[in-house]
Amino acid sequence: MTSARGTALACLLLAALALACLPLASAVVGESGGAAGARRLLQVPPPGPAVPPCVDRPTPEGFTCDQQKGWGKCTESWMTAGGFCRRTCNQCNLPLPPQPQAAAVGPSTAPADSVESVRAAAPATEAPVSATFCTQLPQTGPCRSAIRSWYYDAVTATCMPFLYGGCQGNENRFASFDECDQAAMMMCADWEMQG
């Protein structure tokens, strides 16, 4: 009798191991004992949601994640909000930052460096109140984000892209080429004629 129970237990364990490898939600497993040889349903939990791998996303400045960690930057808001260096900084348990959303018309099919793709991801800015921005050089500010923005270049009389740090700066910063161009046409054209 003891050997029959041991054999039944071994078979049950082998069946459970085999079922763990099957992509089924449930399976029927036999039980020993009783004249009818009762059978019961063994529930196998469905697979959970896929967990994204914890990887190091390089920082915009081109410094390595080891450098950022050595400088004590791992806990700075621009690092955590941008999802940079998660593995090196041991932040795999933190939720992933939200991904930038594309324009309301749908995902952009434009290359990453194109004007169209930058327009969709650019931050909102306030319109300048005076024409002083027309001669200002772009200021990245003291923060260390890398937000693609636009500034008016008085030398070339065109709007050019630059990376804004995320705080302070000056009035010569626009969320898109169109905003920059529109402000320049309204305010800088008169200024250039006077100057």
Write out the two tokens for 12.
Answer: 């049950």
Mean pLDDT of the chain: 69
Residue whose tokens read 């763990």: 20
Q: Are residues 55 and 75 in the same domain?
A: yes
Tell me which of 85-94, 111-120, 131-140, 179-188 is least confident. 111-120
- What is the β-pairing status of strands 39-43 and 147-153? unpaired
Cβ 161 vs Cβ 150: under 8 Å: yes
Answer yes or no: do 143 and 189 share one domain. Answer: yes
* Overall average pLDDT of the 129-133 stretch: 80
146 with 131, same domain? yes
Residue 62 counted as domain residue: yes
Q: How far is CA 193 from CA 135, 185, 189, in A?
A: 13, 12, 6
pLDDT at 73: 84
The whole model's pTM is what? 0.37
Q: Are 108 and 120 in contact (CB under 8 A)?
A: yes
Buried b / exposed e over 99-114, threshold 16 CB at 10 Å, is: eeeeeeeeebeeeeee
In the chain, the number of structural domains is 3
More confident residue, 40 or 25: 40
Q: For residue 22, give every residue at least 6 positions away whose Cβ sits within 8 Å of its Cβ, in sequence order, or none.
A: 44
Q: How confident is the model at residue 113 (pLDDT cuts 50, 70, 90)?
A: very low
Mean pLDDT is lowest, of 36-50, 81-95, 125-139, for 36-50
Q: Is 145 in the same domain as 190?
A: yes
H/E element holding 141?
none
**Contact criterion met (CB below 8 Å) for 183 and 192:** no
Domain of 60? 49-98
Percentage, residues of the chain above pLDDT 90: 15
Question: Is the domain of 6 the same as that of 20?
Answer: yes
Can you give the pLDDT at residue 3?
Answer: 61
Domain presence at residue 36: yes
Same domain, 184 and 155: yes
Kindly state whether residue 110 falls inside one of the protein's structural domains.
no
CB under 8 Å, gap of 24 or more: what pairs does 155-159 form? Answer: 157/184, 157/188, 157/192, 159/184
